[in-house]
Chain A
Amino acid sequence: MSEHIVPVRIYIGVFLALMALTALTTAVAFIDLGRWNTVAALAIAVTKMFLVVLFFMHLKYSSGLTQLVLLAGFFWLAIMVTLTLSDELTRWWTQTSGSWSALLPFLLRLF
């Protein structure tokens, strides 16, 4: 736990930044950017999260262990999402009538 005392103006600044980012993400949703809408919304959300975590939750002033703990949490979530997606998104890659028949053309070319 940090003994570091954060000045009020930093808290106010972070608050205003968070409000501005909220307004921004809401406004961007009304603009058609195709798939970049998703990227923009998530990027803004991640930025807001960093602001809350670093300043409101004092992670900026905390030990490396605490930072590692939080990083581990997100990393593990990423593992869960990624490996599950590796199944859900690739099921249709396999033909139903014999899995390896899809690879046959490539195999024939190799050998």
Chain B
Amino acid sequence: MADLAAHGVHPPGFAHQFEDMEQQRDAGSLGMWVFLVTEIMFFGGLFASYIIYRALDLRAFETGSRLLDIRFGAANTAVLIGSSLTMALAIRSAQVGKPKSQIIFYLIMTMILGALFLGLKFTFEWRHDYVEHLVPGFGFAYTGPFAHGVELFFCFYFFMTGLHALHMIIGLGILTVLTIMASRGRFTEQYYAPLEISGLYWHFVDIVWIFLFPLLYLIGGRYVLGGN
């Protein structure tokens, strides 16, 4: 474990380029927020393109949107919001010095909810879309109105939810690492920065979905449900 002679003054987890733990925490937090800004711009390119094409071809995008199953979209939104809650509670458990079992419990709950999101998306939504020939590049065959625009819409649907899912998978990996760290008793009231920083990432991924849900599933308007 930590070499007390070297680390006698500083708590475990201290990195020596910093002057003290407070500077380390501030730097780590600022670093993650800056990284999230890069993610805003990364997803932003897709969002910007989506906004532009929707402005140019509204009818087609509305038609495509109504081909999505709103129940899964709403359910997945609820699942992710729940996972953000459990993540926040995991961090809070460390902050107030709860036993590691509680931290691990909330981390695992977060992972379960995240995996549930991915399971719903891949095994129900995407598989259904594939069977219905709505996946561009993989046998897309839609014969309704605005066929080209609908294909463009589905390009966006799969690119955006796919990129989001990739970020979720990475998040699950990070949560796994955090769970292992927690099980080794690495987190204390003084040192829980990895949890807080990873929490920022997880909440960000949740926020991306908070926007994807209305943009992809709702803006088509559902008031002609059943009248596609």
Contacts and interface: CB of A to CB of B under 8 A. Distances in A.
Task: Indicate whether A and B are direct neighbours in the complex (CB within 8 Å).
Answer: yes
Interface in B67-119: 70, 74, 77-78, 81-82, 84-85, 87-89, 92, 95-96
Nearest to A88: B52
By DSSP majority rule, is chain B's interface helix, strand, loop, or mixed?
A: helix
Nearest to B39: A73
Nearest to A77: B44
Given A30-B223, A52-B84, A52-B210, A85 B218 contact: no
B221 interface: yes
Contacts of B225: 30
Contact of B210 (A5, A23, A45, A55): A45
Given A1-B193, A11-B85, A84-B48, A66 B74 contact: no
A21 to B, nearest CB: 9
A72 interface: yes
B41 A45 contact: no
A26 to B, nearest CB: 5
Nearest to B202: A56
Given A5-B96, A18-B81, A30 B55 contact: no
Given A5-B96, A73-B37, A81-B48, A57 B203 contact: yes
Contacts of B204: 57
A52 B207 contact: yes
Residue from A6, A15, A29, A48 whose CB has the most chain B CB atoms within 10 Å: A29
Interface string B29-51: 11001101100110011011001
Residue from A74, A76, A80 whose CB has the most chain B CB atoms within 10 Å: A80
Contacts, number: 137
B214 interface: yes
A45 B211 contact: yes
A42 B55 contact: no
A103 interface: no
B56 interface: yes
B199 A15 contact: no
A70 B84 contact: no
B198 to A, nearest CB: 12
Contact of A37 (B52, B89, B221): B221
Interface of B: 25-26, 28-30, 33-34, 36-37, 40-41, 44-45, 47-48, 51-52, 55-56, 70, 74, 77-78, 81-82, 84-85, 87-89, 92, 95-96, 193, 196, 199-200, 203-204, 206-207, 210-211, 213-215, 217-219, 221-223, 225
23 contacts: A1-B26, A8-B92, A11-B85, A15-B81, A15-B82, A18-B84, A25-B213, A25-B214, A26-B218, A29-B70, A37-B219, A44-B214, A49-B211, A52-B207, A53-B203, A53-B207, A57-B199, A65-B30, A73-B41, A76-B37, A77-B48, A80-B41, A81-B44
